[in-house]
Every structure is written in structure tokens, then in C-alpha cells.
């Protein structure tokens, strides 16, 4: 007899409700298990001391100076979330994003301190220039063009300073061509052959990054990111992006945002079978928090449903601002 799910026995021999009758049984047959080990928690580092400033559109998410970042990392670790990803907002921005590849930059300082104080936490860094450039673009701007190859050179310098400061993994988020290959070869040349690269491989030009740009102070002063980030309408192109990044040496590939792109995530996981990450971005987080505040949805329930859906679609790893909240729920319901 065929075991294909489309040819199950007919009612009344088969009643699909049988396995839904008790919570014990539902637990036993659940297909997708969300785990704290899947989560990567994003953190925003700013200069100064004792700074902890809430991002207005992201309740519970803060810009923090290194001292508070260390405290936050202790908490993240104690909740059982294994990894964080750092974004930096520098003291000063300029048109070449110097703060991004400064050995004494905010992220580099955070890496050194956290590595020392919370050595078991896994430290990932976002590699991009947009938080560091005065114009808010992800690379060097010439006329109306965001130039590719020169920008990639700066990204390799950024990745190397992160590695030297103690990063465990780098994650280029710029979407320029050839950056994975370039970063791989610079890391290899400097003894970091074993440092993995998680590439933001299929990253879309999305309206869902709005709250992040407040948090990272990285809204472009003119123009937009459509000349390097992907058109939301495309999926075949996403598969080409992912294939290219794998060829260039990406160890983990990411789809971003998550919720409106679950089909992309599913196809990437099916086609390549690579460790695959999904970024549950700032706008996805903010919408849930806002609707929760208005009393329109049960925030906790929607959060867990969203994260489960992302995992069910194929994500091995989920970058999410919900990591701490979801870890607490998983502990409670264990």
C-alpha cells in the first residue's frame, strides 16, 4: 500500500483527530521541535559607558555600550541561548565607513570584552558598512553608484579585524558580488582557515528592516538598497545567489527576512541541504510587539508560532530579537 500522505485511508477508518485528542499525545507526535540552540540573538553596540537606550520601535531591545553588552551576554548565556550577533554604531561616521575596520571600533571592543568575560558564548559579527558610513549605504558611493569591488575590499578588512578581536564567525550582510570569496581568502591568509562564514545569501530589499535602521542608525540618506539587495518578487535568483555563495566558501547560508520568504527558505534547504539560517527581522518583531500592545494578538503565542513556522520551513538557525523571550517560554513549558 502506498504510504504517500496523499493516499491515506479514507474516513471513517482513519480519523486524523485521534492523534490530537490529548496534549501528551500531541507532544509525542509533534514534527517540529523548536530549541534554544537554534537561536542567535542580535545586539547593538554603541560607544560610551553605561549606555542602555531602548529602541522605540523594538520594545526590550537596546543600544548598549560595551559594559552593558557584557552584562547582557551573561544573561543571554544563562538563558541557554548559545550565540549572539553584533552590530556596531560608531562614534563617528564617514564616507568610507572607517569605524567598521578600526581595530578599536565598537564591535572589536565588544568582542574582546565578551570573549574574556563570557568565553562560552559564540560570537558572530555582522559585516557591512551601512552602520558606519555617513550616507548610510553599505559600501562606497561614487556619483549615484554603490561600487562593488572597492567596497568588498573594505569588508575584508572589517571581517579580519573582527576575527583578530575574537569573533567566532563572520556574517557578511552587504549583498555585494564576490564578498564571500574575498573574505574567505583574507581570513585564510591570516590563519583563520577554521573560522566559518555565514553569508546573508538571499537578502531582500525589504520594508521589514525599518526598526533595525532606527536601532543601527543606518537609514540611507538618499536612494535605497535595491541595486544590491534582492527584488522581493524573485526566487530563482535567490537560488543562484545561494549557489554562488556556497561556491565562494559560505559555510552557512541565510535567507532574510524570514516570514514573507518561507518559500525561499524551504527551497534553499531542499536544494542545497546546507546549514541554513533565517533572519526573523526587526519589522517582524515590531509588528508582533505592536499588535500585542494594542491587545490585538496574544504576543507570546504568535511569537512561538512564528518561530516554529520558520523552523518547519527549513531553518536550522534563527536570528531573532525574540531569542530571550522564546528561551524563557521553552524553559517554562519543558
- Residues within the interface to ligand PBG (CB under 6 A): 126, 128, 130, 173, 209, 212-213, 218, 225, 281-282
Q: How far is the CB of 40 from ligand PBG (least distance, A)?
A: 12
3-state class of 195 per DSSP? coil
User: In 3-state terms, what secondary structure has residue 333?
Assistant: coil
Catalytic residue among 203, 269, 311, 324: 203
Task: Note if 271 is an active site residue.
Answer: no
Which residue is at the shortest CB distance from ligand PBG? 212
CA dist 272 to 172, 230, 265, 319, Å? 20, 19, 11, 20
Q: How far is the CB of 21 from ligand PBG (least distance, A)?
A: 40
Q: Least distance (Å) from ligand PBG to the CB of residue 226?
A: 11
Nearer to ligand PBG among residue 74 and residue 227 (C-beta): 227
Nearer to ligand PBG, 41 or 209 (CB): 209
For residue 31, the cross-strand partners are none
* Least Cβ distance, residue 213 to ligand PBG (angstroms): 6
CB closer to ligand PBG, 165 vs 254:
254
Work out whether the CA dihedral 88, 93, 98, 103 comes out positive or negative. negative
Rounded CA Rg of the chain: 21
Of 74 and 205, the one with the shorter C-beta distance to ligand PBG is: 205
Q: Where are the beta strands (DSSP E) in the chain?
A: 39-45, 52-55, 58-64, 83-88, 122-127, 141-142, 145-146, 169-172, 198-203, 252-256, 276-280, 317-320
Report the alpha-carbon distance of residue 302 to residue 177 in Å, rounded.
36
Whether 52 sits among the annotated catalytic residues: the reply is no
Catalytic residue among 93, 256, 311, 324: 256
Catalytic residues: 203, 256
Amino acid at each position: 500500500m502506498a504510504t504517500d500522505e496523499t493516499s491515506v485511508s479514507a474516513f471513517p477508518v482513519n480519523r486524523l483527530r485521534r492523534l490530537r485528542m490529548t496534549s501528551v499525545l500531541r507532544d509525542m507526535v509533534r514534527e517540529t521541535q523548536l530549541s534554544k540552540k537554534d537561536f542567535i540573538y542580535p545586539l547593538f553596540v554603541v560607544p560610551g559607558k553605561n549606555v542602555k537606550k531602548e529602541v522605540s520601535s523594538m520594545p526590550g531591545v537596546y543600544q548598549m555600550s560595551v559594559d552593558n553588552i557584557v552584562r547582557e551576554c551573561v544573561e543571554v548565556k544563562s538563558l541557554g541561548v548559545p550565540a549572539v550577533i553584533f552590530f556596531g554604531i560608531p562614534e563617528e561616521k564617514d564616507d568610507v565607513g572607517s569605524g567598521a575596520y578600526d581595530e578599536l571600533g565598537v564591535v572589536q571592543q565588544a568582542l574582546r570584552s565578551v570573549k574574556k568575560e563570557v568565553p562560552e558564548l559564540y560570537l558572530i559579527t555582522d559585516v557591512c558598512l551601512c552602520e558606519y558610513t555617513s550616507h548610510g549605504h553599505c559600501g562606497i558611493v561614487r556619483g549615484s553608484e554603490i561600487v562593488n569591488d572597492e567596497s568588498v575590499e573594505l569588508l575584508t578588512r572589517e571581517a579580519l579585524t573582527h576575527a583578530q578581536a575574537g569573533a567566532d564567525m563572520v556574517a557578511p550582510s552587504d549583498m555585494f558580488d564576490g564578498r564571500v570569496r574575498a573574505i574567505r581568502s583574507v581570513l585564510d591568509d591570516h590563519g583563520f582557515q577554521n573560522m566559518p562564514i555565514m553569508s546573508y545569501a538571499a537578502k531582500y530589499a525589504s520594508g521589514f528592516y525599518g526598526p533595525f535602521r532606527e536601532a543601527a542608525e543606518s537609514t540611507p540618506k538618499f536612494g535605497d538598497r535595491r541595486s544590491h539587495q534582492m527584488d522581493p518578487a524573485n526566487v530563482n535568483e535567490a537560488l543562484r545567489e545561494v549557489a554562488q555563495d556556497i561556491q565562494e566558501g559560505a559555510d552557512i547560508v541565510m535567507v532574510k527576512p524570514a516570514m514573507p520568504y518561507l518559500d525561499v527558505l524551504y527551497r534553499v534547504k531542499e536544494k542545497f541541504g546546507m546549514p541554513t539560517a533565517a533572519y526573523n527581522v526587526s519589522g517582524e518583531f515590531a509588528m508582533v510587539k505592536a499588535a500585542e500592545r494594542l491587545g490585538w494578538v496574544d504576543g507570546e503565542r504568535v511569537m512561538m508560532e512564528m518561530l516554529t513556522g520558520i523552523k518547519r520551513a527549513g531553518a536550522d538557525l534563527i536570528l531573532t530579537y525574540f531569542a530571550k523571550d522564546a528561551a524563557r517560554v521553552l524553559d517554562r513549558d519543558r
